[in-house]
Amino acid sequence: MTARDGIRIGTRGSLLARTQTGWVADQLRALGHAVTLETIHTSGDERADVAVPRIGADGVFVRELEAALLAGRIDAAVHSLKDLPTAETDGLALACVPRRALPFDVLVSSRHARLASLPPGAVVGTASVRRGLQVRALRGDVDVRPVRGNVDTRLRRLDAGEYDGLVLAGAGLQRLGLEDRITEVLEPDAFWPAVAQGALVVQTRMEDASTRAALAPLDDAATHAAVRAERSFLASLAGGCLAPIGAWARHDAAGALVLGGCVLEDQPVTVRRITASATAGPGEDPEALGRAVAALLKEMGADRMLAAARLGGGGHPA
């Protein structure tokens, strides 16, 4: 980056991605930095009619952005942190994590106020195995069907009557100014969000100290600690962003970091769900908390459950 060029930020092409990246750009401009945006199309976006596991494993929404960073085509990339694999790419750094938006999943329905009020046989759309299993765990009598596409596309299909309800990330609706479409917020312990859901991350080259310094004021320490714990938890379970794993970390009234996690298993008749939580002790780092909660779930059989999930295939976390 040079003073003449300003900061070049890469973004996916969807409205939500451009909105998120635009927010980061506005914050940087308010701090006096020149910013330009470059749209980069990812394999996950270009094959919106194909289930994500058939495109590839983790990272289908970030690989092209990372390649552009490493090539020097852009100076920073804005991602939804839940899309970023826990194994960090050599040469790249997670420069900042801004304050988190709503971390939970939500129900959107034109006719029904709550998941519990959907009639038997109602069609619920989601592209996420984690969400679909949790819907089935709560309402085994509804019909969970896949739905892909950006938020606007999914809402149009709902409004056209293809679905009785959708389960989406609340943060995406918030950022698009569509909070009024939210029917019900689905929270733990009944419904666990994806790891790092609701959080953005701005990625840079490790060597690019000037861009990292420019981004430093946008970092939210509480959010950054929470998602570090969640990502450590996910990595300790050897789960990718496609695995049926949920987690949520937050600070309690005393300021201690608390992490809860969930692993799901699709069984022939029902859905098995195990949960565990722990609180960081004095001086404990977020990664240690993540490992501790993962260890509790492993004692309950998480490894076997996740092995079965990998054999059965996965779905998209969004």
Q: Which residues are catalytic?
A: 83
Query: In this structure, how many other beta carbons lie within 10 angstroms of the beta carbon of residue 46?
Result: 13
CA distances (Å), 255 to each of 97, 138, 232, 249, 251, in order? 19, 32, 20, 12, 5
DSSP secondary structure letter of residue 160: T
Sequence-distant (6+) residues with CB within 8 A of 166 are 107, 108, 109, 124, 125, 126, 147, 154, 155, 158
Q: What is residue 107's three-state secondary structure?
A: strand
User: Crossing angle for the helix pair 302-312 and 286-299, nearest 10 degrees?
Assistant: 90
Pair type for strands 184-186 and 105-108: antiparallel
Instruction: Return the structure tokens found at 278.
Output: 């722990």
Instruction: Return the structure tokens found at 158.
Output: 């709902």
